[in-house]
Amino acid sequence: MNNSFCATPASLKARLFRGFLVLPLLASAQAPAPAPAQKSVQSQVQASTGVATFTATAQLVLEQVNVKDKDGKAIEGLKKEDFTVTEDNKPQVIKFFDYEKLDDVVAAPVLQTEHIPEPIALPKLTRTQISPEPQGTVKYKDRRLLAIYFDMSSMQILDQLHALDAATQFIKKNMSPADMMAIMQYTGTGVEVLQDFTGDKEKLLTIVATLVAGEADNTGEADSSASAADSGAAFGQDDSEFNIFNTDRQLAALQTATKMLASLNEKKSLIYFASGLQLQGVDNQAQLRSTINDAVRAGVSFWPIDARGLQASSPLGDATRGSQGSSQMYTGAAAMAQQMNFAKSQDTLYTLAADTGGKAMLDYNDLGQGIVNAEKAISSYYIIGYYTTNDTPDGKFRKVKITLNNGVQATLEYRQGYWANKIFAKFTAADKERQLEDALMMGDPITELTMALEVNYFRQNKAESFVPIMVKIPGSELALAKKGGAEHTIIDFIGEIKDDQGTTIQNIRDYRDIKLTDATAAEWTKRPIAYDTGYNLLPGPYKIKVLARDSETGRIGTYMGNFVVPNLDKEEKRVPISSVVLSSQRASMAAAIAADKGAKAAATQSVNPLVQDGQKLIPSVTRVFSNKGDMYVYLQAYEYDLDADGKKIAPATVKPMVAYVTFFKGTSKVMETPPIKVTDGIDPKSHMLPIKLSFPLTSLKPGEYNCQVTVLDPTSQKASFWQAPVMMIP
């Protein structure tokens, strides 16, 4: 199968006026950038007359610490002298200390006689933002911060109604005087803050009442899987084919929300309403890790709520969709696959919660209970801040340990460490190389560039398979370099492939040099940047991590994923086939080599099965096709005979294979190519029979389809099936 997938150095300024220098220091904490765990803090000295200024920049780290006794009750009255803080085993001096005492008394429910806003949709809600805290203050003293986040792009209309009702009921019945709530939503085009933190119930109820179910682009009958189309225009001119990575966009939106909340020092809980969030082969796992790391840095815990509630599904399907119509519905395989797909859609929700200190509420119909759980989880806590002695912006993990002095027995709950900020500027050649190597080793991925990647495999011999790798980046990413006046830019690539034991098997280090004249810059904004390479690998599971950097702007993107190279010799029940490559483009080798000028990837073309007859087949990666063009399909089938001992040997005569492609819309077949018989081109060494198909797509309307490639062996009466979602655009 395919596998698509700050602080600054200290500075000192002094100014003499009227013959004297003012020396006293007044420390004040500024809003964090980008997260409260690691802040740029400026201490200034200014006389009332403005006589002199002294400025020093340091790096503030904040920790929210729960201190509980053996019965789980919060311990009050501790002072900063009662705590010891170390970072990477080095003692730190506590400079900021505060105790947040939260009142757990629930407010009286809103009576029916009180004024409750009618659910009338307003023409346009006023957009706002999360206001940062004033310098040197705690804005929400002794308050619990709850941010309700509606992911309208993933929820169907009924789920949206359930989520809105749950929020309304919580505000009316469960919201306590200590609670401050903010309301945010994501509709597929961006994160909107509809209401900043407030304790005004009437204002919150008004905002929830004005939200209209079904306004988002991906609601209602639309598919909510990771390959669903998105018509949002906020991601660039040529990004339409990258917008099928819907899960990546949802995670990036969550990351944006956490950065908005990062300007507050207190604990924050983000209650995330969604109808599942499933990572599939086309999704970038680096985006998930980056979102979680930013949340940890910002002191935000995720509390996902599956708005679908408890699902009772029929093994043979319900009346809302047609039957699968295959033998799997009788063997139980279809029911098992249905349950597995549903469970996978909840896995990412669970991961978001578990890795940030929250808890996911799954398979439960009372959605409001999820908000109550988040509310109860935040009890009284201490805020401890210190200026780290290690202000190097290297992006490495810093381990934090907090203990109590004087033999006080208690349980401490706090963040065990944080990822330091990363500052990437223009370096020397040696610095740039070290920058990429350091970024590759970081556990905190950088996701400033959009990336898509596809891994395929083709059997070379009994031991190895050739694994071509294709990377695509939206060409619009080069707009910033051209805007800065650059005449060319270099896209550097670095990466590694590791086996399941964590051993590095292959390394990637390459580049693409792209000229940025006015004509070429306009051309690149209409098509993606493509880079490919390939390696020989043994059968087994692997992990791949690839980074791309625009050397002109310094922006970096990361792709992380898993893939498996199967041992096709062990395939007994089906026709052994390679991965299937879908493409809409063939390029001449002269043009391909010119495009990859100076790239080591060109050296792999001689063994790349995608290069044939002087042309190179370019994998689509995103699997987005125009219905005005053609689709090219390439795969390999492998033939064997058995000797007297049962071992596989090369066949004495070539057995014909039959192949065809089918397109499904839901459960309906909308197009099928005529079957072709393949007998030519078998390779005597690998026993490989190449299968090439090409056909026009004019009969397919724009929309999402399931593409199935079928390979039949009439002699042995075996078959193989390969499926993948594809998107047709005009």
- More reliable by pLDDT, 308 or 212: 308
Least confident span in 147-151, 404-408, 453-457 = 404-408
Q: Which residues are within 8 A (CB) of 4 and not within 5 positions of it... i.e. 6 or more apart?
A: 281, 282, 452, 453, 454, 455, 621, 622, 623, 724
Reported as type and span, the H/E element at residue 46 is strand 39-46
Half-sphere exposure of 45 (CA within 13 A, CB side): 16
DSSP 637-692: EE--EE-TTS-EE--SSPPPEEEEEEEEETTEEEEEPPPEEE-S--BTTTTEEEEE
Q: Are 218 and 188 within 8 A, CB to CB?
A: yes
Strands 648-649 and 529-537: unpaired
**In a 3-state reduction of DSSP, which class is residue 231?**
coil
Residues 289-296, mean pLDDT to the nearest whole number: 86
DSSP state, residue 179 = E
Cβ(393)–Cβ(7) below 8 Å? yes
The confidence score (pLDDT) of residue 43 equals 38
Position 424 confidence tier, pLDDT thresholds 50, 70, 90: low
Q: What is residue 345's three-state secondary structure?
A: helix
* Range scoring the smallest mean pLDDT among 334-338, 366-370, 575-579, 582-586: 334-338
Q: Using an 8 Å Cβ cutoff, are 725 and 704 in contact?
A: yes
Give the range among 233-242, 248-257, 371-380, 618-627 with minimum mean pLDDT. Answer: 233-242
pLDDT band at residue 555 using 50, 70 and 90 as cut-offs? confident
- φ, ψ (nearest 5 deg) of residue 569: -65, -20
Dist. CA 108–CA 604, nearest whole Å = 71
Reduced to 3 states (helix: H, G, I; strand: E, B; else coil), residue 573 is coil
How many other C-beta atoms lie within 10 A of the C-beta of residue 36? Answer: 29
Residue 6 has pLDDT above 70, yes or no: no
Interval 450-462: pLDDT, tens: 888 999 999 888 7
Q: How confident is the model at residue 183 (pLDDT cuts 50, 70, 90)?
A: very high
Token look-up 């006015």 returns: 518
Query: How far apart are the C-alpha atoms of 363 and 128, rounded to whole Å?
Result: 33
Cα–Cα distance, 377 to 358 (Å, whole number): 8
What are the distances in angstroms from CA 315 to CA 221, 240, 320?
22, 36, 13
Residue 71 CB contacts under 8 Å (≥ 6 apart), including other chains: none
Tokens (6 digits) for 512:
């693409």
Half-sphere exposure of 239 (CA within 13 A, CB side): 20
> 183 near 130, Cβ under 8 Å?
no
- Give dist(CA 92, CA 417) in Å, integer: 14
Tell the residue number behind the tokens 């709950």, with chain if given.
413
Which structural domains are found in the chain, ordered by start?
Answer: 6-101+383-419 (no CATH), 144-314+323-376 (3.40.50.410), 424-566 (2.60.40.3880), 571-730 (2.60.40.10)
In this structure, the number of other CB atoms found within 10 A of the CB of residue 691 comes to 21
What is the pLDDT of the chain when averaged over all its residues? 76
Res 253 pLDDT > 70 = yes
The pair of three-digit structure tokens given for residue 602, joined into one six-digit string: 């060109």
Report the SS3 class of residue 347: helix
Residue with tokens 């005597």: 684
The pLDDT tens digits of the residues spanning 486-509 come to 667 788 899 999 999 989 999 998
Greatest mean pLDDT among 298-312, 313-327, 602-616 lies in 298-312
CA proximity to 195, closest of 258, 129, 275 = 129
Is the predicted pLDDT of residue 477 greater than 80, yes or no? no
- Summarised one tens digit per residue, pLDDT across range 84-99 is 999 999 999 998 888 8
Pairing of strands 381-387, 94-100: antiparallel
pLDDT value at 204 more than 80? yes
Per-residue model confidence (pLDDT) at position 505 = 92
**Residues with Cβ within 8 Å of residue 720, at least 6 apart in sequence:** 574, 575, 576, 577, 637, 710, 711
Structure token pair of residue 543: 């992990």
H-only helix segments in 328-384: 328-331, 333-354, 368-377
Please tell me the least confidently modeled range out of 424-428, 473-477, 577-581, 719-723.
424-428
pLDDT confidence of residue 632 = 94
558, 428, 551: which is closest to 484 by C-alpha?
551
In sequence order, the 6+-apart residues with CB closer than 8 A to the CB of 198 are: 180, 181, 182, 204
State whether residue 194 is helix, strand or coil: strand
Distance between CA atoms of residues 681 and 683, nearest Å: 6
Long-range contacts, 421-430 (Cβ 8 Å, 24+): 421/6, 421/7, 421/34, 421/35, 421/38, 421/393, 421/395, 422/393, 422/394, 422/395, 422/446, 423/6, 423/8, 423/393, 424/554, 424/556, 425/554, 426/554
pLDDT at 42: 39
Buried b (16+ CB within 10 A) or exposed e, 326-335: eeeeeeeebb
Winning range, highest mean pLDDT, from 231-240, 345-354, 546-555: 345-354
The per-residue pLDDT for 150 is 94
pLDDT classification of 147: cutoffs 50, 70, 90: very high
The pLDDT tens digits for 54-84 are: 444 567 788 889 898 888 888 888 998 999 9
Which of the residue ranges 280-289, 445-454, 522-531 would you say has the lowest mean pLDDT? 280-289
% of the chain surpassing 90 pLDDT:
26
Closest CA to 151 of 234, 271, 62, 286: 271
Residues 522, 250: Cα–Cα separation, whole Å: 29
Q: What is the pTM of this model?
A: 0.62
> Secondary structure of the chain: what % helix, strand, coil (to 5)?
20, 35, 45
Distances (CA, A) of 483 to 240, 476, 550: 22, 11, 13
Report residue 703: phi and psi, to 5°.
145, -175
